[in-house]
Amino acid sequence: MTEARPALPEDELFRAEIVAWLDAHLCGDYEAVRHRGGPGDEEADPVLRRRWEQELARGGWTCVGWPKAEGGRGLSIAQQVIFHEEYARAGGPGRMGHIGETLLGPSLIAWGTPEQKARFLPGIRAGTEFWCQGYSEPNAGSDLANVQTRCWQEADGSWRVQGQKIWTSLAHESDWIFVVARCVPGSKGSKGLAFLLLPLRQPGISIRPIRQMAGGNEFNEVFFDGAVAEAGHIVGAPGEGWKIAMGLLEFERGLSTLGQQMHFLHEFELVLDAMRRSGRTHDAQLRQRVAQAWCGLRAMRYNALRVLADRADAGLRREALIYKHYWSNWHRELGKLAMDVLGPEADVVSDDPLIRRLQQLFFFSRADTIYAGTNEIQLNLIAERGLGLPREPRPAAA
Amino acid sequence: MHASEDQILIRDAAESFLGDVSSSAAVRAAMARPEGHDPEVWARIRSELGWCGLAIPEALGGLGLGAPELVLLLEQAGRHLLCAPFVSTVCLAANLLQQVADESAQARLLPLIADGRLQATAAMPATPDWASSAASLRAMRTASGWQLDGEIARIPDAGTAGLLLVLARVDGAAQPALFALDPSTHGLQLEALPTWDATRRFHRATFTAVALTTDARIDAPARSADGLKRAAALAQLYLAAEALGCAQQCLDLTVAYVATRQQFGRPVGSFQAVKHRCAEMMIRIESARSGVVGAAQLAATAADTTSLAMDCAMARVLTLDTQFYCAQEAIQLHGGVGFTWEYDPQLYFKRAQAGSHWFGTADALRAEISEALLS
Ligand SMILES: Cc1cc2nc3c(=O)[nH]c(=O)nc-3n(C[C@H](O)[C@H](O)[C@H](O)COP(=O)(O)OP(=O)(O)OC[C@H]3O[C@@H](n4cnc5c(N)ncnc54)[C@H](O)[C@@H]3O)c2cc1C
C-alpha cells in the first residue's frame, strides 16, 4: 500500500511527526531498551519498559488504531502502517501493552458493556494496566474447546473461578487476565463457556513461572482457587464465551503485523551484519538462503498489504488465512540461517549484543509455529476453510 | 494492493474466454498442430480482445494499462496453459521495444502489435538477463549496414512470427545492439525444437552472414543499459504471473480430485497427510501471488530499476519454486492417473520444468538478489 500509491501530503506530515516524537523521547534512559523486549526478550528491563509505555501514552501513541470515541487516536490504516514502520525503524521497545491494546481492547470495543469500556480501556491506553491471555490449559491446547476450568456465579452476582491455565505469557508482569472457563456444568466443547476478566493480584490466584528452552521465564502456570471476578466483568452472556474468545483471536491478525514486519526486516539486516562480520559473505549456499529469506520478507510485506486492503471479510480471504503459517515458518528459517551464518560462534552463550539477539531469534522462533495455532492446526484450517476439504473429525458437543 | 473493478473485469473476462478456448481438449489439439497454437484463437485474442495492446501506451494505439493488469491476464493464460504467441509478442517483443527501442521504431512497430496486426518475438534467455543471447550473436558494421553471425539458442514462436527482435554484441561496445528483422531474411535459419513441453514452441536460430540495412538497428543507445534491465525484470514478472497460474491450476485440479476420489471408505482429501499437502500448496501460491501483485504494483510506479529488478526477481523465484512444487504434488496426489497422458498434471509438470530456466533458474536469480543485498 505504501508502494502502491504515492503518499498523501498529510501522511508524510504524520510520518515526520512520529519520527520527531520518537527522536525526542526514545533517548536518555530509554536508550537501554531500544530494539529490546518483545517475544524472546521479555525479561529486558520490564520496569523501564513499563515507564516507556506510559511515556508513549502521554504522547498519544498507544492504541493509535482505536476509534477516537474509545480514547484511541483513530488513525487511518495508512497512518497506522506508518506508525508501526517508524516505531520499528527507530527500535521502539517491544510493547508490553500489546495484549491489552491489540486483543482485549478491540474485543471490549466490539462486545464489552459501556461500564467495561469505561473501566478497562483507559488503563490500557495509559499503559498502567497490563493484560495476559488465559486460554490454554494442560488438556486444552490445540483443542481449546476442551477447557475444564470451571466458573460459577455467587448469590451477589460475582463469579468464582476454579482450575488451571498454562503457558500464560507475561502473567507475572500483568495486572489482569482474561479467562475462558466453563459456566455450564457438564457441558462439552465450545458450548457452555464464559469469558471473564480477573485481577491477577488476589488470594485465589497463584502464578508459577515455567522455564523456556532459552532459559527465560516468559510464560507461566496460573492456578485459580475460588478466584473472584466482579459481577460486571463477564464479556458477553454466560455461554457466549467461545464466540468472544474466537472473535478476539481474529484481532491477532491486525495491523500489528506490519510492525512485526519491520521487526523482521531489522532481524534480517542483523543476519546480513553477522554474515559480513563472520566473513562468510562469499559462501554461495548461505547467499542462496539469504536471498530466499529476502524474497519471503517481500512476499510477506505485500501479503500483509493485501490483507489490509480489504479487512471486511479478513477471516475468509486466502491471503489472511495463510499468513500465520507463512510468517512463523519464515521466522524459524531465519533463526536457523542466523545460526549457520554465525557458525561455531553460535554455540557459545554470548554477551555480544548482535550474537545474543540472533540466538534469541533462533530459540524463540521455535515457539512461533506453536502458539496462536500450531502449524498443523493452521494447515487444517487452510485446507478446510480455504480449500473446502473435509473437516477433521470432532467429538460431538453435548 | 486491491484489485480495482476494471482489473476484476479483465481477469474475469480472461478466465471465461480461456475456459472456453483453452480447455484441456483445446490445449491438446493445439499441441498437435504444426504451429503449436490455434490460429483462430490467436486471431480472436489479437483483434476481438485486444490483449496485445493492453500495456502499450494509448499514444501508440494501446490501452495504456500496465503490469498490474497484464499479470492478471497472464495468470489466467498460465492457468489454462494458453497455447498462443501471446507471451512472445507481448512479454518479450513489445516489452523490449518499449524499454529499449528508439522512438521511431516504437512509433512504427508498437501500434502494429497493439492492434494485433503484428506477431513478434525475441530470444528467451537462460540467464536472468538478455546478455547471454547477445553473447552468441555478433553484429558487424558493413558498408551497407550490418552483418549478423552466430546463433540464438531459443526463440519462442519464431516459426509463426512476422518480426524477430535480436540482441547482438558489437565489438567495442558495452551494450548489445537491438535489431528488428523479418524471420525469412536470407542467411537466417530457424530450426524447430521438439520440446517435451509442447504448449510453447521454440526454434533455434542460426545466423550466417545475415545482411541488414542500417535502420534495422533500433535501440536507443542512451536508454539501452537501463532499458534492458527493466525489460528483463518485467519479462521475469510476466513469466512469474504465468507460472503462478500454472501452480493455481495444479492445486485446483488436485483439490477437485482428492475431494471425490474415495479410498478406505472416505475421500482421500479427508486424510490429513493429503489435506496438509494441499494446504501447503495454497500457502506457497498465495504468498507467491502477493509477491507478483506487489512487484506489478511497483512496476506501475516510477520505481528505480534496481528495486524493480529485485522485486521482479523475487516474484520469479517464488513462482518458479511454487510452480514446480505444485506440479509435482499434483502428480503425486492424483496417484496412478497422475502419471497418465490423459490427465493434465503432466502438462503442467512439463511446463514447469521447461520454464525453470527461462530468464534464469531460481538459483541464478537468488544469486543476483544476494549480490544486490550484500554488495
Ligand atoms: C511461547 C508460547 C507462548 C504462549 N502464550 C500463551 C498465552 O499467553 N496464553 C495462552 O492461552 N496460551 C499460550 N500458549 C499456548 C499455545 O496456544 C499452545 O501451546 C498451543 O495452542 C498448542 O497447544 P499444546 O501446547 O497443548 O499442544 P498440543 O495441542 O498438545 O499439540 C501437540 C502436537 O500435536 C499437533 N496436533 C494437535 N492437534 C492436532 C490436529 N487436530 N491435527 C494435527 N495435529 C495436531 C500439534 O500441532 C502439535 O504439533 C503459548 C505457547 C507458547 C509456546
Complex ipTM, two decimals?
Answer: 0.96
The residue behind cell 509477491 is B291
Q: Is A169 in the pocket of ligand 1 (CB under 6 A)?
A: yes
Any idea what the CATH number is for the domain that residue B314 is in? Answer: 1.20.140.10
Task: Out of A1, A276, A386, name the one closest to residue B282 (CB).
Answer: A386
* CA atoms in the 13 A half-sphere facing the CB of A299: 31
- Range of the structural domain that residue A276 is part of: 253-386
Cα dihedral across residues A168, A169, A175, A179: positive or negative: negative
Is residue A99 a contact partner of residue A42, using CB atoms and an 8 Å limit?
A: no
Task: Assess whether A298 and A259 both reside in one domain.
Answer: yes
Question: Rounded to whole angstroms, how far apart are CA atoms B255 and B100?
Answer: 43
Instruction: Search chain B and give the residue with CA nearest A305.
Output: B1
Classify residue A385 as exposed, middle or buried by CB count within 10 Å of its CB (0-12, 13-18, 19+): middle
Cell numbers of B24, please? 484441456
A88-107 burial code (b ≥16 CB/10 A, e <16): bebbbbbbbbbbbbbbbbbb
Q: Does A114 touch chain B (CB under 8 A)?
A: no
Q: Does B294 touch chain A (CB under 8 A)?
A: yes
Task: Assess whether A220 and A276 both reside in one domain.
Answer: no
Which of B147, B146, B165, B144 has the alpha carbon at shortest distance from B156? B165
Distance A142 CA to ligand 1 centre (A): 5
**By 3-state DSSP, what share of chain B in percent is helix, strand and coil, each rounded to 5?**
60, 15, 25
Check residue A253 and report its DSSP letter.
Answer: T
Q: Which residues on A lie below 8 Å from B251 (Cβ)?
A: 387
Cα dihedral across residues A234, A237, A241, A245: positive or negative: negative
Q: What is the longest distance spanned by two Cα atoms in chain B?
A: 79
Task: Assess whether A42 and A152 both reside in one domain.
Answer: no
Beta bridge partners of B100: none
Q: Does A392 touch chain B (CB under 8 A)?
A: yes
Q: Look at ligand 1, atom 40, and give the residue with the nearest C-alpha.
A: A377
Task: Out of A3, A387, A390, name the one closest to residue B282 (CB).
Answer: A387
Q: How many CB atoms lie within 10 A of CB A203?
A: 9
Q: Which residues on A lie below 8 Å from B314 (Cβ)?
A: 294-295, 298-299
Task: Assess whether B232 and B316 both reside in one domain.
Answer: yes
Catalytic residue check, A252: yes
Helix (H) or strand (E) holding B135: helix B131-135
Cα of first residue to Cα of last residue in chain A, in angstroms, is 46
The predicted structure's pLDDT at residue A4: 40
Any idea what the CATH number is for the domain that residue A167 is in? Answer: 2.40.110.10
- Range of the structural domain that residue B53 is part of: 5-118
The predicted structure's pLDDT at residue A320: 86
Residues 325-354 of chain A whose Cβ lies under 8 A from any Cβ of chain B: 325-326
The predicted structure's pLDDT at residue A9: 84
Q: Does B73 touch chain A (CB under 8 A)?
A: no
The predicted structure's pLDDT at residue A3: 41
Distance A363 CA to ligand 1 centre (A): 17
Q: Is A365 in the pocket of ligand 1 (CB under 6 A)?
A: no
Is residue A86 a contact partner of residue A265, using CB atoms and an 8 Å limit?
A: no
Task: Assess whether B131 and B152 both reside in one domain.
Answer: yes
Instruction: Search chain A and give the residue with CA nearest B371.
Output: A287
Question: Rounded to whole angstroms, how far apart are CA atoms B298 and B323?
Answer: 23
Beta bridge partners of B152: B205
The predicted structure's pLDDT at residue B109: 98
The residue behind cell 510453447 is B200
**Nearest ligand 1 atom to alpha carbon A135:** 11
The predicted structure's pLDDT at residue A315: 46
Domain final residue, candidates B77, B103, B118:
B118
Query: What parts of chain A have a pLDDT lower than 50?
Result: 1-5, 312-315, 397-398
Instruction: Search chain B and give the residue with CA nearest A6.
Output: B301
Q: Which residues on B lie below 8 Å from A378 (Cβ)?
A: 279
Task: Assess whether B238 and B256 both reside in one domain.
Answer: yes
Number of domains into which chain A is organized:
3
The predicted structure's pLDDT at residue B144: 95
DSSP string, B121-132: EE---SSSSSHH
The predicted structure's pLDDT at residue A256: 59
The predicted structure's pLDDT at residue B149: 98
Is residue A302 a contact partner of residue B290, using CB atoms and an 8 Å limit?
A: yes
Question: Rounded to whole angstroms, how far apart are CA atoms A307 and B27?
Answer: 35
Task: Assess whether B170 and B253 both reside in one domain.
Answer: no
Q: Which of A17, A250, A252, A384 is catalytic?
A: A252
Cβ-Cβ contacts under 8 Å for A52 (sequence gap 6 or more)? A30, A33, A93
Answer yes or no: do A1 and B303 touch at CB < 8 A: no
Task: Assess whether A298 and A331 both reside in one domain.
Answer: yes
Q: Is A334 in the pocket of ligand 1 (CB under 6 A)?
A: no
**CA A233 from chain center: how many Å?**
23
Task: Assess whether B101 and B135 both reside in one domain.
Answer: no
Question: Rounded to whole angstroms, how far apart are CA atoms B148 and B141?
Answer: 9
List alpha helices for A26-113, DSSP H: 46-58, 77-89, 98, 105-111
Number of domains into which chain B is organized:
3
Query: Average pLDDT by consecutive 10-residue portion of chain B (375 residues)?
Result: 84 96 98 97 96 97 96 98 98 98 98 98 96 93 97 97 98 95 98 97 98 97 94 98 98 98 98 98 98 97 95 98 98 98 98 98 98 95
Answer yes or no: do A389 and B297 touch at CB < 8 A: no
Q: Look at ligand 1, atom 1, and give the residue with the nearest C-alpha.
A: A367
Task: Out of B1, B288, B366, name the one closest to residue A299 (CB).
Answer: B288
A394 belongs to a structural domain: no
The alpha carbons of chain A give a radius of gyration, in whole angstroms, of 22
Cβ-Cβ contacts under 8 Å for B310 (sequence gap 6 or more)? A298, B369, B372
A-B interface: how many C-beta pairs under 8 angstroms?
144
**CA B310 from chain center: how many Å?**
18
Task: Out of B278, B282, B298, name the one closest to residue A322 (CB).
Answer: B282
The alpha carbons of chain B give a radius of gyration, in whole angstroms, of 21
List alpha helices for B22-66, DSSP H: 24-32, 39-46
Domain final residue, candidates B193, B222, B251:
B222
Answer yes or no: do A389 and B270 touch at CB < 8 A: yes
The predicted structure's pLDDT at residue B132: 85
Cα dihedral across residues A189, A190, A192, A197: positive or negative: positive
Domain final residue, candidates A238, A269, A290:
A238
B341-371 burial code (b ≥16 CB/10 A, e <16): eebbbbbbbbbbebbbbbbbbbebbbbbbbe
Instruction: Search chain A and give the residue with CA nearest B310.
Output: A295
Angle at A150 between CA A196 and CA A102, to 5 degrees: 30
Q: Does B298 touch chain A (CB under 8 A)?
A: yes
Domain final residue, candidates B70, B95, B118:
B118
The predicted structure's pLDDT at residue B98: 98
Instruction: Write the CA distances from A114 to A69, A104, A260, B48, B188, integer angstroms.
Output: 12, 15, 32, 61, 82
The residue behind cell 469505561 is A118
Question: Rounded to whole angstroms, how far apart are CA atoms A91 and B89?
Answer: 49
Task: Assess whether B218 and B228 both reside in one domain.
Answer: no
Helix (H) or strand (E) holding B170: strand B163-170
